[in-house]
Amino acid sequence: MGNLYQKLLENGKSDFYPYHMPGHKRKPLTEVLKRVCDIDITEIDGFDNLHHAEGILAQLQKRAAKIYGSEECFYLVGGSTAGILSAIATVIKRGETFLIGRNCHKSVYHGAYLNGANTEYLFPESVKGVGIVGEVTAQQVQLALESNSRIKAVIIVSPTYEGVVSNVREIADIVHEYGIPLIVDEAHGAHFGFHEMWPHSACTQGADIVIQSLHKTLPSLTQTALLHVNGNLVDRSRLKRFLAIHQTSSPSYVFMAGIEESLDYMESVGKSRMDKFADLWWQMLKNLSACKVLMIYPKKMDGQDFGDAKETKEKRIKYDIGKLVISVENSNISGQKLYDILLNDYHLQMEMAGGSYVLAMFTLADEQDAYVRLTEALLEIDKKLRISVPAKAKSDVAPNREPLEKAMEFWMAWDMTTELVDVDDCDGRIAGDFINLYPPGVPVVVPGEILKEEILEIIKEYIRQGLPVHGVKCMEGKVWLEVIYGKQ
Ligand SMILES: Cc1ncc(COP(=O)(O)O)c(C=O)c1O
């Protein structure tokens, strides 16, 4: 096993002169470069080549596979996005049908578009009263596969952005009965499998390809991620081809050494850090149970209180500990308002605001102070709020509620000429662009779908609440949507 980081440092200090990229020549000419200059190199002798790994990088990738319990692992330096695009191109050829969890990230849709895939969707239920999207069930997958024999591959996201985990084992078994591969976007679950209080990683639950962003939940640099492969349903040489297409031909050694170090960290102190993480988390949940108006999710799972689960350790928590969803469903404020109060009055930057909730994200890097500050702020805010149950539940505007009727495949629609039309005149028109809240980037509307009054009202409501809606234009005091040119 080579230690890439040490080797890079030694190379930086050596008298080997760099007649090669990068252009800084290991000279810290700017402030940022001062920190990374010594170890930022290109594929020079002794440092292997990510796209044809045979030396140190091959060893490191083997080690990452061993840690996560997969058969083979590939380092990603373009985030999970590069892995998702490559995985989709590997399993889906032009014109083939792809079954997608509708709550998947936009990179999944981009992958489907680039490959001209026809799409079918799995619509997970929303979690009642919270406004977040729930799990994809094995029954849904079974039903979808039974009703469309043309489906060639399936992708789901687990855990979701908000920490909801699907039963990957059951889903994989069903997908494999049809002889096709299951991809799991585990971008938010690179910390799974390191501690018994967290769910198993999809790597050990039968998924054929699993993609994880190390940068999201482990101490790793932005853009660092992993792609794991299992079984014989995935053509691995095709996968390598697409990784070479979707990843840069100049992969960053800073990133790759960062991946190595974050896995070193998890192997050495990860378990004890996650023990502490879980303890701080339970304590926070206990303290937050004093809230009278704000609702904390998830409080219970399968009728079992988180507190009980901690004591008995009978079964793994079905949700990702660390994703705190603070629901304002029964309060007199919106999710965006709570987000703004936490930011402006308490200097606490949340991960995102939805129509009916705010999401805070914790990792093993958070110390007690982080838990105490948020708890104190929420308890104080809660005291000032009133219970107010609006006629129309805030969580009713959750994305992916009802399947919209599809007028044409989205890869086709996204390439068509469009025009901007006032949202009030869009009923019956065909969407020409995605409309989503970003984050989390789950599409409310996909190009090619027919816009109907109900969905248009939801979009207007998002805008009224000041949520970050992508795919709409606000001009001249009106909201405009991109629709396919000319009335069909
Ligand atoms: C569910 C999910 N999948 C994939 C991605 C893409 O990950 P990355 O930013 O590592 O490319 C994201 C990014 O937020 C995500 O939320």
pLDDT per residue as tens digits for the range 168-205: 999 999 999 999 999 999 999 999 999 988 999 999 99
What is the pTM assigned to this prediction?
0.93
**What's the rounded Cα separation, in Å, for the pair 361 and 162?**
9
Helices then strands, counting H and E runs in the chain, come out as 16, 19
Does any ligand 1 atom lie closer than 6 A to the CB of residue 76? no
Does any ligand 1 atom lie closer than 6 A to the CB of residue 80? yes
Does any ligand 1 atom lie closer than 6 A to the CB of residue 107? yes
Does any ligand 1 atom lie closer than 6 A to the CB of residue 103? no
Q: What is the pLDDT of residue 301?
A: 41
Cα dihedral sign for 484, 486, 487, 488?
negative
Per-residue confidence at 313, pLDDT binned at 50, 70, 90?
Answer: very low
Question: How many CA atoms, within 13 angstroms, populate the side-chain half-sphere of residue 165?
Answer: 25
For the segment 144-172, what is each residue's pLDDT rounded down to a tens digit? Answer: 999 999 999 999 999 999 999 999 999 99
**What's the rounded Cα separation, in Å, for the pair 84 and 64?**
18
Per-residue confidence at 354, pLDDT binned at 50, 70, 90?
Answer: confident
Q: What is the pLDDT of residue 34?
A: 86
Q: Which of 481, 458, 377 is nearest to 131 (CA)?
A: 458
Stretch 332-359: mean pLDDT, rounded? 92
Stretch 440-460: mean pLDDT, rounded? 91
Which CATH number is 268-384's, of 3.30.1360.70, 3.40.50.1360, 3.30.750.24, 3.90.1150.10?
A: 3.90.1150.10
Strands 182-185 and 209-213: parallel
Q: Cα(223) to centroid of ligand 1, in Å?
A: 10
Q: What is the pLDDT of residue 405?
A: 94
Q: What is the pLDDT of residue 385?
A: 95
481 neighbors 426 (Cβ within 8 angstroms)? yes
Which CATH code for domain 51-264? 3.40.640.10
Q: What atom in ligand 1 is closest to the CA of residue 441?
A: 16
**What's the rounded Cα separation, in Å, for the pair 417 and 398?**
29
Residues in the chain: 488
**What's the rounded Cα separation, in Å, for the pair 422 and 425?**
5
315 pLDDT above the threshold of 50:
no
Does any ligand 1 atom lie closer than 6 A to the CB of residue 85? no
Strands in 316-441 per DSSP E: 323-327, 352-353, 357-361, 418-422, 435-437
Which CATH number is 402-484's, of 3.90.100.10, 3.90.226.10, 3.50.50.60, 3.20.20.70?
A: 3.90.100.10
Stretch 406-432: mean pLDDT, rounded? 96
Asked if the domains at 51-264 and 402-484 fall in one CATH topology, the answer is no
**Mean pLDDT score of the chain, rounded to an integer?**
91
For the segment 99-144, what is each residue's pLDDT rounded down to a tens digit? Answer: 999 999 999 999 999 999 999 999 998 887 787 888 999 999 999 9
Strands 442-445 and 435-437: antiparallel
Q: What is the pLDDT of residue 391?
A: 62
For the segment 38-64, what is each residue's pLDDT rounded down to a tens digit? Answer: 899 999 999 999 999 999 999 999 999
What is the arrangement of strands in the sheet containing 97-101, beginning at the earlier edge strand?
Answer: 72-76, 225-229, 209-213, 182-185, 151-157, 97-101, 118-122
Stretch 390-416: mean pLDDT, rounded? 77
Q: Which of 155, 188, 213 to mutate to test the pocket of ligand 1 (most atoms within 8 A of CB)?
A: 213
Q: Cα(215) to centroid of ligand 1, in Å?
A: 10
Domain locations along the chain: 1-47, 51-264, 268-384, 402-484
**What's the rounded Cα separation, in Å, for the pair 461 and 487?**
25
Q: Which of 107, 210, 320, 470 to mutate to test the pocket of ligand 1 (most atoms within 8 A of CB)?
A: 107
Q: What atom in ligand 1 is closest to the CA of residue 215?
A: 10
Does any ligand 1 atom lie closer than 6 A to the CB of residue 161? yes
Fill in the amino acid letter for 103.
Answer: N
Does any ligand 1 atom lie closer than 6 A to the CB of residue 220? no
**What's the rounded Cα separation, in Å, for the pair 473 and 167?**
38
Q: Whose CA is nearest to atom 9 of ligand 1?
A: 79
For the segment 80-97, what is each residue's pLDDT rounded down to a tens digit? Answer: 999 999 999 999 999 999
Q: Which of 133, 254, 251, 269 is nearest to 195 (CA)?
A: 269
Question: How many CA atoms, within 13 angstroms, populate the side-chain half-sphere of residue 370?
Answer: 15
Does any ligand 1 atom lie closer than 6 A to the CB of residue 225? yes
Angle at 426 between CA 421 and CA 428, to 5 degrees: 140
Cis, bond preceding 219 (omega within 30 deg of 0): no
472 neighbors 443 (Cβ within 8 angstroms)? no
DSSP states along 88-124: HHHH--TT-EEEEETT--HHHHHHHHHTT-EEEEE-P
Beta bridge partners of 119: 98
For 81, residues 6+ apart whose C-beta sits below 8 A from its C-beta are 107, 110
Strands 151-157 and 97-101: parallel
Cis, bond preceding 22 (omega within 30 deg of 0): yes
Stretch 344-360: mean pLDDT, rounded? 92
